[in-house]
Structure 1
Amino acid sequence: MAPSSAAKHPLDGPNRFKLGVFSTNADGGLAITTVPERWRATWQDNLAAVTLADEAGLEFALPIARWKGFGGATNVREWSFETFTWAAALAAATRRIGLFATVHVPLVHPVYAAKALATVDHVSGGRAGLNIVCGWNPAEFAMFGASVDQDAYARAAEWITIIERAYAACEPFDFKGRFYDLEGVVSRPASVQAPRPVTMNAAFGPPGRAFAARHCDYLFSTFSDIDDGRRHVDDMRSRAAEAGREVGVYTVCHVVCRETQAEAEAYYERYAVHEADHAAVDDHMARKKEFAGSHDREAFDLYRQRFAGGAGTYPLVGTPERIVEDLIRIAAQGYAGAALTFVDYAGELPFFCERVLPLMRQAGLRTQ
């Protein structure tokens, strides 16, 4: 398929509030729990979950980039699929859903990334996306003989610039920057989407958001309370406006959707408190608090259950009606969508899609 600026990514679709599944490629998803139904993230699991999301009309599937687990009884997330390969395989098995690759900039060369990303975009017919992350976990970087870069977003700016130039250039080019000194760069085919596939960055701190304002189409951000969400949206919109751009803001939520509120709350208590993998939760929280500026500092003390339940993301726990009420409030803060996680994606996603999506349409959040 020839590159075309007319290729329309699913995130450009008509629904006011977009939805996706997050972290299906990793053991446990985002839940740090020992319950027997916990997500195992086999290939067949991934194929089942993302196919369900595709058939239901969800807009995207977003993987997590993980190389090492968090110990405890489960060593959660050590089993995970590499995301370019994961996205390409799913692209061949789906029809409509956007498929992101999540890439640690310091660990993947931009010329390789350009080729791999274009491959996913061609297999999918223009549905690829790139989640640009700079990394925060020293134990993972040590596996590559690397260290976490203190000026990571300056490197990321060169990295994405090289990819964009590789797609646009008619002839090989040299690049001499602070981090990359390259000769005769060429990458064919270019991506189907022009000038490149859609990009996103999950950032809470100022350096990441400044990078997103200049180089990304979407920012994913967490919040501790829905009513506190607007300040993150306003901050990102202001930064993007200064750069002469628009950046959509999304969030991440972990979901327990049941027929009754009591049933949902009881299950949340079970998997994220009584049967949480407490040693892994401790390790995850300690590393995040020390190395990753991804949450408000007080969130680590106030919301331990949320870290067991979904890596500190916001909980959507309750009946379909209650969850839609929360999504309406999130949308009212200015968020364009949410990535969702479940304890068991394949087992829980059908009920969510059957019961929640029609209510979202009634509320005006979705038209499809």
Structure 2
Amino acid sequence: MNAATPPVHLLRGPNRFKLGIFSTNADGGLTLTKVPERWPADWEGIVAVAQMADRAGIEFLLPIARWKGFGGELNSREHSFETLTFAAALAGVTERIGLFSTVHVPLVHPVFAAKALATVDHASKGRAGLNVVCGWNPEEFAVFGLPMIEDRYGQGREWMEIISRIYSEAEPFDYHGQYYQLTGVSGRPRPLQRPQPVTLNAGFSPPGRDFAARSMDFLFTTFNDIESGRGQVEDMRVRAAAQGREVGVFTTCHVVCRPTQAEAEDYYEHYAVRMADTVSVDRYTSAKEKFSGSHDPETYKRHRKRFAAGAGTYPLVGTPRHIAEEMVRMSEAGFAGTTMSFVNFRDELPYVIEEVLPLLREAGLRDG
């Protein structure tokens, strides 16, 4: 690839409504369920899903970063692959799909992160992406012997500033901030994407949205219903405009797609209610509500099933046409796209590719 012509990441591509696959790197994906078919996150299966999504023209793969499980009967997400090496490994077995790494700011030094991310970008020929997590789980911080500081987004802003300067400045520089005191900082090679790989962060709270407005290309957010999401998109537009920037807004969904609505709803009730790992759900929701600020408080009260089914994300449960129509509504509300997670990615993604993607093309949301 000609270095003078930076590659265009698929997240910046032509499709009006973009799609990602979320959390294949962790056992159970986003679910907290005991069904035997739950996602095992074995490497062979991960590669198969990545290649399937790549062939279908799906824009990106987004992993979660976990360092500790959530207890209960299965201790879900204890088994998870580290995300920078995950993206680098998948670069060699895919061709077009974007490959994100999810990185906890307090746990990974920005000088290391800058070089690792640039490595992924070269290995993938310009397909790297960075999902910045400022941290919410004190138990994971304790694994590293670190306290969870109050101003996590303040540290995140310094972290991103250091990475951006490594990628843009010609000479070594010193950095004197509140959280980093660095001398003679530099790093080569620079990434193929210029000025840097695509960035995003998940945020519902005002500090998380302000961080995205100042530092990110895209925000991922949740909502109780699609119509209320319209206000969140507008809120992000206003915050970004105040910084002289534009920030795209994505949402995230868990999917149960079946030939009939009844089949989909029956299976949803089966895996997310009757077979939920209730101890794990209790631990997860209480920690998220106390520390993360990633959901509307009403979500925790009204939608326990959503946390067992998909970490509190929005449910897309029904026929292919119902799911396509829901995605059309998301697009009309201003969302640039959504991620999808499943109970079992390898078993369930093919049906979505075969039945939902053609309906999105008919609706004018996707060219391919």
1:42-191 counterparts in 2 under 5 A?
A: 42-191=42-191
Q: Report if aligned partners of 1:3, 1:190 keep a CA contact under 8 Å in 2.
A: no
Q: Which residue of 1 aligns with 2:342?
A: 342
Shift of 1:80: 0.5
Q: Is 1:261 the counterpart of 2:266 in the alignment?
A: no
Three-state SS of the structure 1 residue aligned to 2:297 is: coil
Give the Cα–Cα distance (whole angstroms) in 2 for the partners of residues 116 and 255 of structure 1.
Answer: 32
List gaps (5 residues or longer) in structure 2: none
Q: Which amino acid aligns with 1:229?
A: G
Shift of 1:168: 1.5
Give the Cα–Cα distance (whole angstroms) in 1 for the partners of residues 267 and 72 of structure 2.
Answer: 21
Shift of 1:169: 2.0
Three-state SS of the structure 1 residue aligned to 2:340 is: strand
Q: Which amino acid aligns with 2:175?
A: F
Question: Deviating runs (4+, > 2 A) in structure 1?
Answer: 1-6
Shift of 1:5: 5.8
Q: Which residue of 1 aligns with 2:319?
A: 319
Shift of 1:48: 1.1
Q: Which amino acid aligns with 2:323?
A: I
CA 1:3 to 1:116, structure 2 compared with 1: closer, same or farther past 3 Å?
Answer: farther
Q: Which residue of 2 aligns with 1:215?
A: 215
Deviation readout 1:173-227 (Å, 9 max, x if unpaired):
1111111111111111011111110100100001111110011000000001111
Give the Cα–Cα distance (whole angstroms) in 2 for the partners of residues 354 and 2 of structure 1.
Answer: 35
Q: Which amino acid aligns with 1:259?
A: P
Q: Which residue of 2 aligns with 1:294?
A: 294
Give the Cα–Cα distance (whole angstroms) in 1 for the partners of residues 158 and 64 of structure 2.
Answer: 23
Q: Report if aligned partners of 1:218, 1:250 keep a CA contact under 8 Å in 2.
A: yes
Shift of 1:4: 4.7
Q: Is 1:24 the counterpart of 2:44 in the alignment?
A: no
Shift of 1:60: 0.4
Shift of 1:33: 0.4
Three-state SS of the structure 2 residue aligned to 1:36 is: coil
Q: Which residue of 2 aligns with 1:361?
A: 361
Shift of 1:154: 1.0
Q: Report if aligned partners of 1:3, 1:191 keep a CA contact under 8 Å in 2.
A: no
Q: Which residue of 2 aligns with 1:228?
A: 228
Give the Cα–Cα distance (whole angstroms) in 2 for the partners of residues 273 and 157 of structure 1.
Answer: 40
Per mean C-alpha deviation after superposition, the further-off stretch among 233-242 and 5-14 is: 5-14
Deviation readout 1:2-37 (Å, 9 max, x if unpaired):
755632001111100000100110110001101010
Q: Report if aligned partners of 1:259, 1:320 keep a CA contact under 8 Å in 2.
A: yes
Give the TM-score normalised by structure 1. 0.98
Give the Cα–Cα distance (whole angstroms) in 2 for the partners of residues 50 and 91 of structure 1.
Answer: 10
Q: Which amino acid aligns with 1:74?
A: L
Alignment root-mean-square deviation, CA: 1.0
Matched residues, number: 368
Q: Which amino acid aligns with 1:279?
A: V
Give the Cα–Cα distance (whole angstroms) in 2 for the partners of residues 199 and 260 of structure 1.
Answer: 38
Q: Is 1:41 the counterpart of 2:37 in the alignment?
A: no
Three-state SS of the structure 1 residue aligned to 2:188 is: coil
Give the Cα–Cα distance (whole angstroms) in 1 for the partners of residues 46 and 279 of structure 2.
Answer: 26
Q: Which amino acid aligns with 2:240?
A: A
Q: Which residue of 2 aligns with 1:281?
A: 281
CA 1:270 to 1:235, structure 2 compared with 1: closer, same or farther past 3 Å?
Answer: same
Give the Cα–Cα distance (whole angstroms) in 1 for the partners of residues 51 and 272 of structure 2.
Answer: 27
Shift of 1:49: 1.1
Give the Cα–Cα distance (whole angstroms) in 2 for the partners of residues 164 and 190 of structure 1.
Answer: 10
CA 1:4 to 1:198, structure 2 compared with 1: closer, same or farther past 3 Å?
Answer: farther
Shift of 1:265: 0.5
Per mean C-alpha deviation after superposition, the further-off stretch among 198-207 and 39-48 is: 39-48
Q: Is 1:195 the counterpart of 2:195 in the alignment?
A: yes
Three-state SS of the structure 2 residue aligned to 1:154 is: helix
Per mean C-alpha deviation after superposition, the further-off stretch among 295-304 and 215-224 is: 295-304
Give the Cα–Cα distance (whole angstroms) in 1 for the partners of residues 275 and 359 of structure 2.
Answer: 32
Q: Which amino acid aligns with 1:294?
A: S
Q: Which amino acid aligns with 1:107?
A: L
Q: Report if aligned partners of 1:131, 1:200 keep a CA contact under 8 Å in 2.
A: yes
Give the Cα–Cα distance (whole angstroms) in 2 for the partners of residues 2 and 188 of structure 1.
Answer: 17
Three-state SS of the structure 1 residue aligned to 2:254 is: strand
Deviation readout 1:234-276 (Å, 9 max, x if unpaired):
0000001111111000000000000111110110010001011
Per mean C-alpha deviation after superposition, the further-off stretch among 6-15 and 17-26 is: 6-15
Q: Which amino acid aligns with 1:264?
A: A
Q: Which amino acid aligns with 1:44?
A: E
Q: Which amino acid aligns with 2:180?
A: Y
Give the Cα–Cα distance (whole angstroms) in 1 for the partners of residues 322 and 192 of structure 2.
Answer: 40
Give the Cα–Cα distance (whole angstroms) in 2 for the partners of residues 4 and 207 of structure 1.
Answer: 37
List gaps (5 residues or longer) in structure 1: none
CA 1:275 to 1:122, structure 2 compared with 1: closer, same or farther past 3 Å?
Answer: same
- Give the share of equivalent positions with the same residue, in percent: 61
Q: Which amino acid aligns with 1:247?
A: V
Give the Cα–Cα distance (whole angstroms) in 2 for the partners of residues 55 and 75 of structure 1.
Answer: 33
Give the Cα–Cα distance (whole angstroms) in 2 for the partners of residues 2 and 8 of structure 1.
Answer: 13
Per mean C-alpha deviation after superposition, the further-off stretch among 147-156 and 104-113 is: 147-156
